[in-house]
């Protein structure tokens, strides 16, 4: 009787564990993290971050229990103009020497219809953490081949002023972010 009680207790403790979760990593060769922001009110400056790492834990039984954790090396910013990139790394903008990474950690995942997800989380830039919502295109299923799995596309708009990036009025406050990624099974 004592053994049955111990077995029932063990099952009760283990039951909430997610046996359907799979961990994936961002595939660097097949991932782009891009942004664009208005400059002089008429044109967009576009850029990307070349170095990042992240994991996505996908709960196959309940997608709303999935999690995302991504870190971006801000020094890897690339707008195609070295002088501008150096300025973006300086104290005028990101202060890379003091704040070398930005980080996104999810707090909630919600379904939006049949093909999109609302990914809420906390974005930290320059030591300031603010809530951000990304719209994610729901995966269409596993791809065939090696270790690759699901492709994702996500987008969000943030206000640079919210993160202490308040350099001049010739630069727009809204920053449009686009992420395209392929996730690899870990």
Average pLDDT, 10 consecutive residues per value, the chain (186 residues): 39 45 88 93 92 92 93 98 96 96 97 89 98 82 49 91 86 93 84
pLDDT of residue 13: 41
- Position 130 in a domain: yes
State the Cα angle at 119 between 38 and 66, rounded to 5°: 150
CATH number at residue 148: 2.40.128.110
- Position 13 in a domain: no
Q: pLDDT tens across 14-56, in order?
A: 444 445 578 999 988 999 999 999 988 789 999 999 999 999 9
101-112/77-78 β-pairing: unpaired
Report the C-alpha gap between 76 and 89 in whole angstroms: 9
Q: Which domain holds residue 95?
A: 19-185
pLDDT of residue 184: 85
- Position 172 in a domain: yes
Contact in structure between 164 and 128 (CB atoms under 8 Å):
yes
Token pair recorded at residue 177: 């972010």
Total number of domains constituting the chain: 1
Report the C-alpha gap between 86 and 82 in whole angstroms: 6
């Amino acid at each position: 009787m004592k053994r049955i009680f111990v077995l029932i207790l063990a099952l009760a403790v283990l039951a909430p564990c997610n046996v359907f979760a799979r961990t994936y990593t961002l595939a660097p060769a097949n991932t782009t993290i891009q942004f664009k922001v208005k400059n002089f009110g008429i044109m967009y400056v576009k850029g990307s971050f070349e170095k990042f790492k992240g994991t996505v834990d996908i709960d196959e039984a309940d997608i709303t229990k999935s999690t995302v954790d991504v870190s971006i090396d801000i020094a890897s910013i690339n707008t195609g103009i070295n002088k501008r990139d150096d300025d973006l790394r300086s104290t005028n903008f990101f202060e890379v020497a003091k704040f070398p990474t930005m980080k996104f950690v999810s707090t909630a995942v919600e379904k939006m219809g049949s093909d999109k997800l609302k990914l809420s989380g906390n974005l930290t830039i320059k030591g300031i953490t603010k809530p951000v919502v990304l719209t994610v295109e729901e995966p269409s299923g596993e791809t065939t081949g090696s270790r690759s799995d699901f492709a994702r596309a996500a987008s969000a708009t943030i206000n640079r002023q919210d993160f202490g990036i308040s350099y001049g009025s010739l630069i727009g406050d809204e920053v449009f972010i686009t992420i395209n990624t392929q996730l690899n099974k870990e």
